[in-house]
Structure 1
Amino acid sequence: MGELCVHSVLVTGANRGLGLGFVQHFLRMPKPPQWIFATCRDPKGQRAQELKDLASKHPNLVIIALELANPASIKAAAAKVGEHLGGSGLNLLINNAGLVKPKTLDSETLEDMTETYTTNTAGPLLMGQAFLPLLKKAAQGSPGSGLSCSKAAIINISSIGGSIASSFGWDMMQVTSYRCSKAALNMLSKCQSLAYREHGVLCVALHPGWVQTDLGGATGYAPPVTVDDSVQGMLKVLSSLSEKETGTFLDWEGNVIPW
């Protein structure tokens, strides 16, 4: 199993947490991608400062404004990425941006459920639709048959909280809207894998572990996994994926998680 080797990658929610971790790891690779597209809601804001500092030192890092709740914003981002790539396609789309509302089942509201689903489930759906032409182009331009992340792939960052078979963390955090949205994201990943396979695009749902991020710590408990370890593990998993894994639900160490 070699190191992941991609010409271009896009990461959503890249201004902090796992998204920023992905960007940092891609930049540190012996053969970094020629294009790293990092999206966030407000590229000019204070919360994107670390990302801006990296972009000032790395010409292959392009920051793009993206609001997942806004279909027009997603289409505009896809058009911008297409302009940068010229005739080549996008190898890897990492749908990482996520939202959690730390509520109990009794205190969930329609507004919370709708907002969480919009970001965690509808966002990755619309991203897949908007970027499919670029992913198809990458798949067509890659040598050899079969599926891989070096060719063309959609990676949906999910959560064990979306596993219906597991009640992991229920005593600590009910976060019902988050769990429901991630269970739906898992089904979306399966649907994408079935629909996009013929285009040469691999699709998986990936649980990053319980990670030390703002989202991971939203419950008031200290998560055990560092961003660095999680991202390193996930990139190792991505480098080994083939068509037999498309449509599966895996964790950051490559273990299969029950639906």
Structure 2
Amino acid sequence: MSCSSVKKTEFTVKSVLVTGSNRGIGLGLVKRFLELPNPPEWIFATTRELAGCQSKEVMELALKHPNLVVLELDVTDPNSIKAAAKRVEAHLQGHGLNLLINNAGMLRVTTMENENVETMAIVYLTNTVGPLLMSQEFLPLLKKAAQQSTQTGLSCSKAAILNMSSIAASIEVVPLWELRKTPSYRCSKAALNMITRCLSLEYKDCGILCTSIHPGWVKTRMGTEAALQTVEETTQAILKIISTLSEKENGSFMGWDGKIYPW
């Protein structure tokens, strides 16, 4: 599967914002959007520290691609989110934002015995509250994109919020418990899935699609080298999937492999 297989007639998104774009899946998604036969007019990539060494690759990409804008954004800081939203609005010049991908996240390796208030709070703030704050702040631009679109129904080309979740959040499955317990991470992503469901109910009539995505077990700093998929494989698959999302996937928990996962 390659990004060239995402045909123009299937997927034309004019603007997209991806949080946590300095590395891993976020950076991979930015690259896949740039590689599309018809790339977005605007790709907004966010990182917590523009000057940090971890942002070097995405900053270099922006020098080569005038449609890529790198923004400093901390999803745990409401003021930082507001400032980024104003910059995005200025770049869009009266147009809406078609696609918000809440990808930024964190994991602390913990067990039931050593889990504590501090870890639960920071992981929940980053993985759950952050995407909610992002969705709230960028809602006016998403609504504008939906209103400006001539498309019927729901799609990522029109207006959508995609929350990067994990199968680790599945209350029904609770996979790999003995390998990696990480209760704070699991709980934060399970709560994120509920936010997705709430958003899907609240904003369906506004023309905004909302879905949770399980990216698989990916070779990133969070996923470790023991993971089964490369960033390129996963992001190619995700882009293919989101190009086909419609009303029937609104409020669902989709996997990178196209399957619906249990809550």
Q: TM-score scaled to structure 1, two decimals? A: 0.97
- Partner of residue 223, structure 1: 227
Q: TM-score scaled to structure 2, two decimals? A: 0.96
Q: Please identify, of 103-112 and 10-19, the stretch whose mean Cα deviation from structure 2 is larger.
A: 103-112
Give deviations 1:15-43, integer Å, cap 9, x for gaps. 00000000111111111100000001001
Give the Cα–Cα distance (whole angstroms) in 2 for the partners of residues 171 and 227 of structure 1: 25
- Partner of residue 242, structure 1: 246
1:20 aligns with 2:23: no
Identity of aligned residues (%): 55
Equivalent position to 1:132, from 132, 136, 139: 139
Give the Cα–Cα distance (whole angstroms) in 1 for the partners of residues 124 and 171 of structure 2: 17
- Partner of residue 109, structure 1: 116
Give the Cα–Cα distance (whole angstroms) in 2 for the partners of residues 193 and 164 of structure 1: 20
**1:161–1:167: 8 Å Cα contact kept in structure 2?**
yes
Shift of 1:4: 2.6
- Partner of residue 41, structure 2: 34
- Partner of residue 213, structure 1: 220
Give the Cα–Cα distance (whole angstroms) in 2 for the partners of residues 73 and 45 of structure 1: 17
Shift of 1:69: 1.1
Equivalent position to 1:68, from 54, 64, 75: 75
Where do residues 85-164 of structure 1 align in structure 2 (5 Å cutoff)? 85-164=92-171
SS in 2 for 1:204: strand
**2:28–2:231: 8 Å Cα contact kept in structure 1?**
yes
- Partner of residue 253, structure 1: 257
Give the Cα–Cα distance (whole angstroms) in 2 for the partners of residues 14 and 174 of structure 1: 26
- Partner of residue 201, structure 1: 208
1:51 aligns with 2:55: no
Give the Cα–Cα distance (whole angstroms) in 2 for the partners of residues 144 and 6 of structure 1: 12
SS in 1 for 2:213: strand
**2:50–2:71: 8 Å Cα contact kept in structure 1?**
yes
**1:38–1:64: 8 Å Cα contact kept in structure 2?**
yes
SS in 2 for 1:240: coil
SS in 2 for 1:224: coil
SS in 2 for 1:212: coil
Give the Cα–Cα distance (whole angstroms) in 2 for the partners of residues 201 and 45 of structure 1: 34
SS in 2 for 1:64: strand
Question: How many residues were matched structurally?
Answer: 256
**2:145–2:159: 8 Å Cα contact kept in structure 1?**
yes
- Structure 1 segments (4+ residues) deviating >6 Å: none
- Partner of residue 9, structure 1: 16
What amino acid is the match of 2:45? A
Shift of 1:5: 1.6
**Runs of 5+ unmatched residues, structure 1:** none
